[in-house]
């Protein structure tokens, strides 16, 4: 049966108008005023609501296992949480096991991905740039629809690659229509600071932030840009948190270099004061990069306004605060004796849209169009999903969010659908709330009612990335 969404205010990255949307076969079939329908249709009245393209979150870690810890959300629970937050497409990070080929890593990722409730694509994390890995990169882009790769300049001895490997991977990515995503922090210097702190007995969660200063992010961002410029490849800085990093991105973009960057809600709304919380509570805020001093936030908002920052994604990487009921592997409590053992990451997939609406549109004067651009259109374009995802037009997937722009409500972890046991934003009041969510035309969220099911999410085989 067709679906008709009536009287909504349709907002895309470029338009803002009142119309009806007719959906059939999972796609938008017609848009117009007082649309006539030929037969039966499921009708949804969107009077007073915004009709937005489903959110696109290009940075999540669902069901991710490292040698020491695992994220608590499966694809089932994480994508259900995403849907309740108005996000209908994810690009998740596939982390291969060290020494294993990326293609094998993708095979395992697909098995875990089968429980997804919304559509999901994969970025591939590269742990080396050996000849076999570089060959796999080509296969991943051409055959598997994985058109972006992430490399780490941090975590020596585990995830980090050296500059030579980073450069080699960048060249292959660029030559094959793929984006290189970089975790930019100076890993060896951070390691020296961590070792020093631990040796001095400074082991509380706040030393996670003390040992990862903003200057070491800025330095690595600058270095990554130099390497990408030389490799003639598009670059995407993930989880940018610091003014120094943004300055490097801005300078490069002003010179016409294809550098892009995302920030995350926690860097826009929270700051390093959270690390002064008593006891072990501050471990909830142990993510990488860490929260910065308050002064960085104004730079990030300016970057979002001026398009020096193009995307807000979540880096949803959830570990429970408490050990029970899931066990230590899923818990921050692993690091109760030393910050260096706290699993690194925080949740956020369910709160991105309302937080960014409240922060960007209500408080910082960004337009509704820009709000849609940074949460859906730009990530879809940068990562090979547009126009299937990221906008509303005849022929696009009918991934739609009916959003109330005036409702005020309070964020509470107890109301969430993620399996994690806390929210970074507990008790925060926001304006703007997701009311209904459609994935390929199917209404899967209706207020607090869940109408979706595990397994209905499709794999997103992506086309070229890095060409906005
Ligand atoms: N990088 C991420 O992107 N997520 C979690 C931790 C990290 O280092
Ligand atoms: Zn990272
Ligand atoms: Zn991440």
Q: What is the pTM of this model?
A: 0.98
Reported as type and span, the H/E element at residue 446 is strand 442-446
pLDDT, residue 139, reads: 98
pLDDT, residue 468, reads: 72
Measure the CA angle with vertex 346, ends 343 and 348; round to 5°: 160
What 3-state DSSP class applies to 318?
coil
Measure the CA angle with vertex 307, ends 302 and 309; round to 5°: 75
CA dihedral 38, 42, 48, 54 (to 10 degrees): -100
CA of 92 to the centre of ligand 3 (A): 9
Q: Is 187 exposed, middle or buried (0-12, 13-18, 19+ CB in 10 A)?
A: buried
Write down how long the chain is. 468
Among candidate residues 259, 289, 252, 255, the one with its CA nearest the CA of residue 272:
289
Average pLDDT over residues 131-146: 98
For residue 152, which ligand has an atom nearest its CA?
2
Closest Cα to atom 1 of ligand 1: 288
Q: Percentage of the chain with pLDDT > 90? A: 98
Q: How confident is the model at residue 467 (pLDDT cuts 50, 70, 90)?
A: confident
Q: How far apart are CA 84 and CA 324, in angstroms?
A: 25
CA of 51 to the centre of ligand 2 (A): 32
Are 94 and 66 in contact by the 8 Å Cβ rule? The answer is: no
Number of the ligand 1 atom closest to the C-alpha atom of 344: 6
Q: Examine the pLDDT at 164 and tell me if it is beyond 90.
A: yes
- What pLDDT digit, counting tens, does each position of 325-378 carry? 999 999 999 999 999 999 999 999 999 999 999 999 999 999 999 999 999 999
- What pLDDT digit, counting tens, does each position of 73-94 carry? 999 999 999 999 999 999 999 9
Number of the ligand 1 atom closest to the C-alpha atom of 93: 3
pLDDT, residue 103, reads: 97
Among candidate residues 140, 90, 23, 44, the one with its CA nearest the CA of residue 435:
44
326-333 long-range CB contacts below 8 Å, 24 or more apart? Answer: 326/72, 326/419, 329/68, 329/69, 329/70, 330/69, 330/70, 330/71, 330/72, 332/280, 332/283, 332/284, 332/286, 333/280, 333/283
Chain-centre distance for alpha carbon 422: 18
CA of 393 to the centre of ligand 2 (A): 34
Are 290 and 391 in contact by the 8 Å Cβ rule? The answer is: no
Neighbours of 400 (CB within 10 A): 30
Closest Cα to atom 8 of ligand 1: 288
What 3-state DSSP class applies to 405?
strand
- Residue 437: beta bridge partners? 401, 445
Q: Is 34 exposed, middle or buried (0-12, 13-18, 19+ CB in 10 A)?
A: exposed
Q: How far apart are CA 140 and CA 106, in angstroms?
A: 9
pLDDT, residue 36, reads: 85
Reported as type and span, the H/E element at residue 375 is none
Average pLDDT over residues 424-449: 98
CA of 389 to the centre of ligand 1 (A): 25
Are 261 and 220 in contact by the 8 Å Cβ rule? The answer is: no
pLDDT, residue 435, reads: 98
247 Cβ contact list (under 8 Å, min separation 6): 218, 299
pLDDT, residue 346, reads: 98
Assign 3-state DSSP to the chain and report helix, strand, coil percentages, each to 5.
Answer: 35, 25, 40
6 Cβ contact list (under 8 Å, min separation 6): 20, 43, 44, 45, 46, 47
Mean pLDDT computed over every residue of the chain: 97
What 3-state DSSP class applies to 173?
helix
pLDDT, residue 466, reads: 87
- What pLDDT digit, counting tens, does each position of 18-76 carry? 999 999 999 999 999 999 887 889 999 999 999 999 999 999 999 999 999 999 999 99
For residue 315, which ligand has an atom nearest its CA?
3
pLDDT, residue 373, reads: 98
Buried b (16+ CB within 10 A) or exposed e, 61-91: bbbbebeebbbbbbbbbbbbbbbbbbbbbbb
Buried b (16+ CB within 10 A) or exposed e, 286-301: bbbbbbbeeebbebbb
Number of the ligand 1 atom closest to the C-alpha atom of 239: 3
Mutational pocket test of ligand 1: of 209, 345, 349, the residue with most ligand atoms within 8 Å of the beta carbon: 345
- What pLDDT digit, counting tens, does each position of 221-265 carry? 999 999 999 999 999 999 999 999 999 999 999 999 999 999 999
pLDDT, residue 38, reads: 77
Backbone angles phi, psi at 292, to 5 degrees: -105, 175
Chain-centre distance for alpha carbon 54: 14
CA of 99 to the centre of ligand 3 (A): 21
Q: Examine the pLDDT at 133 and tell me if it is beyond 80.
A: yes
């Amino acid at each position: 049966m067709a679906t008709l969404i009536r009287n909504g205010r349709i907002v895309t990255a470029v338009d803002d108008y009142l119309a009806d949307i007719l959906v059939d076969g999972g796609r938008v079939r017609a848009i117009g005023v007082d649309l006539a329908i030929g037969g039966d249709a499921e009708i949804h009245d969107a009077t007073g609501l915004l009709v937005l393209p489903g959110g696109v979150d290009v940075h999540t870690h669902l069901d991710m296992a490292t040698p020491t810890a695992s994220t608590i959300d499966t694809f089932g629970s994480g994508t259900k949480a995403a849907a309740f937050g108005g996000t209908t497409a994810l690009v998740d990070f596939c982390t291969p096991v060290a020494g294993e080929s990326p293609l094998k890593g993708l095979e395992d990722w697909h098995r875990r991905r089968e429980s997804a409730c919304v559509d999901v694509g994969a970025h591939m994390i590269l742990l080396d740039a050996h000849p076999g890995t570089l060959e796999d990169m080509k296969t991943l882009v051409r055959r598997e629809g994985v058109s972006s790769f992430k490399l780490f300049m941090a975590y020596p001895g585990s995830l980090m690659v050296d500059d030579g490997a980073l450069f080699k991977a960048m060249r292959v990515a660029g030559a094959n229509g793929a984006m290189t995503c970089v975790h930019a922090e100076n890993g060896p210097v951070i390691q020296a600071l961590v070792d020093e702190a631990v040796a001095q007995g400074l082991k509380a969660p706040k030393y996670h932030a003390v040992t990862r200063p903003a200057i070491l992010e800025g330095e690595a961002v600058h270095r990554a840009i130099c390497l990408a410029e030389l490799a003639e490849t598009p670059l995407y800085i993930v989880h940018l948190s610091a003014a120094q990093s943004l300055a490097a991105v801005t300078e490069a973009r002003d010179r016409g270099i294809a550098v892009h960057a995302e920030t995350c809600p926690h860097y826009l709304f929270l700051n390093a004061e959270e690390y002064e919380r008593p006891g072990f509570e501050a471990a909830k805020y142990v993510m990488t990069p860490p929260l910065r001093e308050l002064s960085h936030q104004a730079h990030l908002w300016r970057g979002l306004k001026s398009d020096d920052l193009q995307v807000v994604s979540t880096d949803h990487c959830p570990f429970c605060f408490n050990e029970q009921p899931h066990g230590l592997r899923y818990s921050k409590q692993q690091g109760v004796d030393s910050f260096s053992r706290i699993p690194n990451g925080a949740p956020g997939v369910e709160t991105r849209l309302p937080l960014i609406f409240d922060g960007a549109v209500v408080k910082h004067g960004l337009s509704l169009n820009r709000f849609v651009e940074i949460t859906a259109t730009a990530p879809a374009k940068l990562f090979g999903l547009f126009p299937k995802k990221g906008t509303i037009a005849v022929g696009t997937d009918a991934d739609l969010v009916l959003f109330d722009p005036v409702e005020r409500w309070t964020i509470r972890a107890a109301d969430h659908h993620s399996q994690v046991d806390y929210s970074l934003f507990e008790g925060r009041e926001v304006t703007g709330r997701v009311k209904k969510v459609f994935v390929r035309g199917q209404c899967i969220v209706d207020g607090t009612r869940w109408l979706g099911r595990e397994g209905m999410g499709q794999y997103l085989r992506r086309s070229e990335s890095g060409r906005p």
